[in-house]
Amino acid sequence: MSERLQPGDVAPAFTLPDADGKPVSLADHQGRKVIVYFYPAALTPGCTKQACDFTDNLELLAGAGYDVIGISPDSPEKLAKFREKESLRITLLADPDKKVTEAYGAYGEKKNYGKTYLGVIRSTVVVDEQGKVERALYNVRATGHVAKIIKDLGL
């Protein structure tokens, strides 16, 4: 089980491959706010809905100074398929060993149909321009989550 981040914490640094296999670091976004969200698996209904919602609101978010990064344990090849199939415009990063997911507190015990297991906890962390955690939301719902973030950020 990983520790959950709190507002004011320094966001853990990371460098992960994107859907094209190119390395992307949190440091690449220095000076901009970043919405880093963690989802269990590309090409699944809930994760598709969430990724499409972020893509649909990307202009609004980018206009307000936010970059959006989605992280899952999927391979870059699967992320590329996901991006093409759904016409996604957000940055998708692969974290197959779940080290970054764990560092952000987005990996741990989940319950589904009465069974407890370890997995990716759908989470969103908003990082400010200085690399500090502004908000950390855990166990979020795929549907309606992006609208809630936009409202919470006052956009």
- Using alpha carbons, select from 122, 123, 119 the residue that is nearest to residue 135: 123
Helix axes 76-86, 45-56, angle to 10 degrees: 60
Q: Which is the catalytic residue, given 35, 47, 125, 146?
A: 47
Q: Which helix (H) or strand (E) holds 1?
A: none
Exposed/middle/buried for residue 154 (C-beta within 10 Å: 0-12, 13-18, 19+): exposed
Strands (E), the chain: 15-17, 23-25, 33-38, 66-72, 91-94, 107-112, 115-120, 123-127, 133-138
- Is-catalytic flag, 52? no
Q: How far apart are CA 94 and CA 77, in angstroms?
A: 9
Locate 84 and state its tokens. Answer: 């093409």
Q: How far apart are CA 16 and CA 96, in angstroms?
A: 10
Catalytic residue positions? 47
